[in-house]
Amino acid sequence: MKKSIYQALTTLLMLMLLLTIRIPSFAQADEQRFKIELSISAGEKTAKTLLNSSSISFSRQDVYSLTDSGKSSATDQTTNRAPQLPRDIYLSADASSISSDAMEILAKHKGTLSGTIIVTDAYNQSQVKRIQFSNALLSGYSDQISSYGYNGKPGSVAFSFICKELTVDGVSISP
């Protein structure tokens, strides 16, 4: 009887040890569950780079100001209407680092850009989201270097575009 209790406790301890070793590895695997890849084109040049994140924003302020223009104190003197925000779509992204080909396009190309961001689920390799943009201009770029690592790299890169045309999963976004 004493021997069977000892065997049961040993088995239970081994199981607990295995679970404590496996659980953190599942949590770490989930941190990088999605692969986000940017493909950017300028003229004949195309480059790809991995991203950490991406976001889209736009404003329909002018549509709302038509119904609410009487409440605004800041008005345009010629039309007596509230000033309007540009009707652009903003696409921003950040990465641990970017490929040298993508860096060359962002640094040297002064005209419009087009590209695609594809989000893939690493577990089953299925495409989760597809963002396509065109007629875009680089509006900002930031490259940070740090003594602390960021996903195994010594810094991070952030950039943003002003887009005239953007599609998310086949749905055209119009501000």
Residues near 161 by Cβ (< 8 Å), separated by ≥ 6? Answer: 90, 91, 92, 113, 133, 136, 137, 138, 139
Q: Is residue 72 part of a domain?
A: no
Shared-domain flag, residues 23 and 86: no
Which secondary-structure segment (H or E) carries 131? strand 127-150
Shared-domain flag, residues 50 and 26: no
Number of domains in the chain: 2
pLDDT in tens, the chain (175 residues): 566 666 766 665 565 655 555 554 454 445 678 999 999 999 899 999 999 999 999 877 655 555 555 554 455 556 666 555 567 899 999 998 899 999 999 999 989 999 999 999 988 889 999 999 999 999 999 988 887 766 667 788 999 999 999 999 999 988 7
Residues near 114 by Cβ (< 8 Å), separated by ≥ 6? Answer: 40, 41, 42, 132, 133, 134, 135, 136
Q: Is residue 108 part of a domain?
A: yes
Dihedrals phi, psi of 110, to nearest 5 degrees:
-100, -15
Structural domain boundaries, residue 121: 33-65+78-173
Shared-domain flag, residues 87 and 9: no
**Cα–Cα distance, 91 to 162 (Å, whole number):** 6
pTM value is 0.69
